[in-house]
Structure 1
Amino acid sequence: MAVFTQVSEDDARTLLQSLDLGQLTALRGIQGGIENTNYFLDTTQGHWVLTLFERLTAEQLPFYLELMRHLARKGIPVPDPQADRTTGAILHTVCGKPAAVVQKLRGTSQLQPTPRHCAAVGRMLAQMHLAGRDFALHQPNLRGLPWWNATVPTVLPFIPAEAAQLLQAELAHQNEVAASAAYAALPRGPIHADLFRDNVMFEGEALTGFFDFYFAGVDTWLFDLAVCLNDWAIEHSTGAHTPALAAAMLDAYQSVRPLEAAERALLPALLRAGALRFWISRLWDFYLPREASLLTPHDPRHFEQVLRQRIAQPFCLE
């Protein structure tokens, strides 16, 4: 979430009129994130989030928006894209960019989660995976292995030799994992792929929703779980595994969808894959940034640290 494209109040009013969402009372740019332009829209009818898509194309976007609509109809607490009152379209155009409007979820992000928060995320993640099984559209995870292979040569010149060696070695390892029969056996479907602490809302210990589905794609459910464990169940200052948080998330997830034998065997490798994916993307955003108002790129060294921890101390399910 950042502001690459400036949206005027007149632009917002025109959009709100087409969606029949009331009169504009406030328009505020959202700081954080690095992909899209985001604004809070407050109106006489409620509170909304406007997203202008800076990289995703109009051809790619129906997957994300229709997935959110599908999950919302299945009872998963996610933002439901708002439709044009005349055409019924949920993909709009603002300032020449493809755009969407969704309701703002209640609550706040929990940046210091307890085991209860982690359990709530694990349980809802499993429910979301099962709810997406009959989703009709298909789009690969656009930040998956092909993107890693294409992006690593671009970022290598910017990093120290030791880090470059680790990056190349781990990429080679993940290519081997992805070519294995065990990996091919992993169950898969639509995943969120970016379910960090700041993409989940809570009121107290009650989970009120998942949001920011714009990295979603069809991939292994285990990768989605690994991404969550790498953010929710670690000590952020060191990247080290936090057993109580991980156990809470895994137990709750498996109470809804028990992991298969292939998933249990490959969880250590997929935890490394999740760390690698975000190390690569943060290197790319840090060293090859785009100009944006309010843009604050994340420090890529965090996920280098997480990856080193995952290699040095592989996680094992008991």
Structure 2
Amino acid sequence: MSVFTKVSHNELRDFLKAYPVGELIGYQGIGEGVENTNYFVDTTDGRWVLTLFERLNHEDLPFFLGLMDHLAGRGYPSAMPARSREGANLTSLNGKPAALVRRLVGQSVLFPNIAQCQAVGRALGELHVAGLSFAGRADNTRGPAWRQATAETLLPRVDAAQRALIESELAAQAQLDWATLPQGVIHADLFRDNVLFVEDRLTGVIDFYYACTDALAYDLAVTLNDWCTDPDGRPNPARWQMMTLAYRGSRELNAAERAAWPLVLRAAAFRFYLSRLYDWTFPREGDVVHVKDPEQYRRILEWHRDQAPLPL
């Protein structure tokens, strides 16, 4: 949610005329995240989030916006995309695809407690079940092929220790046949900054712009790695157990997923280690750009490589 594309007051005011959302009151850029330009927007008809998509194009976006519509229409705490006066939920602003979604109440948490981890596990399981009735399909743009290509780009630019870790993990991941694992719609980025709470009540799941069709267990691994690990990279047993139990209350993992689980956890950590290392090595320009330290995910990856996972 960094700000790469500036939007002036007049540009935003003119943009909002296409929507039945009232008059512009104020707006501000959101500095969190790393992929898209995001603004909080207040109008006389409510509070919104405006997203300008920096890497995704018009052909990719109907899947994400359609998924949000699908989930919100079934009572899931996902923001509903606004529709223009012409009925479109995807428009353009300053040469970029743009969407306006209703801003949900609540705030993200930096240090989650047990109850919040339980709520996230339950919400993730419910997402996977609700996604079974969604007709859309999208490949994971950060899947194995991306990991291979990104690693190859990074290898000439990193130090010897980083190179050894990347090459070793690529070889290990080649053993995993993702097609043998149950597939469905996944969020793929359910980090702490993408879930909203009012105290311990989960009020919103946001930022579906990495959502795709992939192994459901991978989504659980991504979420556990962020919500339930300590700064040194090791899992926090209480939070880890509560999240997995809550997830399994909605959807149970099968034998293939349990057998593949150690490598799935590593794949989830490897994906974010590579993306953060890439952004660290090849920084992007922007008005407010938040680049996350890859070392956190190096520690998580190395923990999973060296230790057996906690029981599911």
Give the TM-score range, shorter chain. over 0.9
* Aligned counterpart, 2:291: 297
CA offset at residue 185 of structure 1? 2.6
* Aligned counterpart, 1:73: 73
CA distance in structure 2 between the aligned counterparts of 1:102 and 1:157, rounded to whole angstroms: 41
Percent identity among equivalent residues? 47
Alignment of 1:155-166 (within 5 A): 155-166=154-165
Residue of structure 1 aligned with 2:214, choices 189, 207, 219: 219
Q: Which runs of 5+ in 1 are unaligned?
A: none
AA of the residue aligned to 1:252: A
CA distance in structure 1 between the aligned counterparts of 2:179 and 2:141, rounded to whole angstroms: 18
CA offset at residue 27 of structure 1? 1.3
AA of the residue aligned to 2:97: P
State the secondary structure of the residue aligned to 2:138. Answer: coil
CA offset at residue 163 of structure 1? 1.5
Asked if the contact 2:25–2:43 (Cα under 8 Å) also holds between the matched residues in 1, the reply is yes
CA offset at residue 152 of structure 1? 0.6
Q: Which runs of 5+ in 2 are unaligned?
A: none
AA of the residue aligned to 1:24: L
Asked if the contact 1:193–1:224 (Cα under 8 Å) also holds between the matched residues in 2, the reply is yes
Asked if the contact 2:2–2:33 (Cα under 8 Å) also holds between the matched residues in 1, the reply is yes
Tell whether 2:307 aligns with 1:313: yes
Asked if the contact 1:199–1:211 (Cα under 8 Å) also holds between the matched residues in 2, the reply is yes
Higher mean displacement: 190-199 or 158-167: 158-167
AA of the residue aligned to 2:95: G
* Aligned counterpart, 2:171: 172
* Aligned counterpart, 2:119: 120
CA distance in structure 1 between the aligned counterparts of 2:308 and 2:46, rounded to whole angstroms: 46
Asked if the contact 1:3–1:36 (Cα under 8 Å) also holds between the matched residues in 2, the reply is yes
* Aligned counterpart, 2:55: 55
Asked if the contact 1:30–1:39 (Cα under 8 Å) also holds between the matched residues in 2, the reply is yes
Asked if the contact 1:264–1:317 (Cα under 8 Å) also holds between the matched residues in 2, the reply is no
CA distance in structure 1 between the aligned counterparts of 2:161 and 2:30, rounded to whole angstroms: 36
CA distance in structure 2 between the aligned counterparts of 1:316 and 1:243, rounded to whole angstroms: 7
State the secondary structure of the residue aligned to 2:17. Answer: helix
CA offset at residue 316 of structure 1? 3.9
Asked if the contact 1:268–1:316 (Cα under 8 Å) also holds between the matched residues in 2, the reply is no
Residue of structure 1 aligned with 2:258, choices 261, 264, 275: 264
* Aligned counterpart, 2:27: 27
Tell whether 2:280 aligns with 1:280: no
Number of residues of Structure 1 aligned to a counterpart in Structure 2: 312
AA of the residue aligned to 1:115: I
CA distance in structure 1 between the aligned counterparts of 2:270 and 2:131, rounded to whole angstroms: 26
Q: Deviations over 1:117-169 (max 9, x none)?
A: 11100001010111011211111111111101111111112221112111111
CA distance in structure 1 between the aligned counterparts of 2:174 and 2:67, rounded to whole angstroms: 28
CA distance in structure 2 between the aligned counterparts of 1:166 and 1:210, rounded to whole angstroms: 33
Misfit runs of 4+, over 4 Å: none
CA distance in structure 2 between the aligned counterparts of 1:268 and 1:176, rounded to whole angstroms: 12
Tell whether 2:100 aligns with 1:101: yes
CA distance in structure 2 between the aligned counterparts of 1:277 and 1:285, rounded to whole angstroms: 13
CA distance in structure 2 between the aligned counterparts of 1:246 and 1:265, rounded to whole angstroms: 18
CA distance in structure 2 between the aligned counterparts of 1:274 and 1:209, rounded to whole angstroms: 23
CA offset at residue 15 of structure 1? 2.2
Q: Deviations over 1:243-273 (max 9, x none)?
A: 1001000000111111111112222211100
The TM-score normalised by the length of structure 1 is: 0.96
Asked if the contact 2:237–2:310 (Cα under 8 Å) also holds between the matched residues in 1, the reply is no
CA distance in structure 2 between the aligned counterparts of 1:49 and 1:314, rounded to whole angstroms: 41
Give the aligned CA root-mean-square deviation in angstroms.
1.0
* Aligned counterpart, 2:128: 129
CA distance in structure 2 between the aligned counterparts of 1:22 and 1:268, rounded to whole angstroms: 51
CA distance in structure 1 between the aligned counterparts of 2:133 and 2:173, rounded to whole angstroms: 29
* Aligned counterpart, 1:190: 185
The TM-score normalised by the length of structure 2 is: 0.98
CA offset at residue 296 of structure 1? 2.0
CA offset at residue 184 of structure 1? 2.6
CA distance in structure 2 between the aligned counterparts of 1:47 and 1:251, rounded to whole angstroms: 35
AA of the residue aligned to 1:13: R
Tell whether 2:188 aligns with 1:230: no
State the secondary structure of the residue aligned to 2:133. Answer: coil
Q: Deviations over 1:171-193 (max 9, x none)?
A: 12112113xxxx43311111100
State the secondary structure of the residue aligned to 1:263. Answer: helix
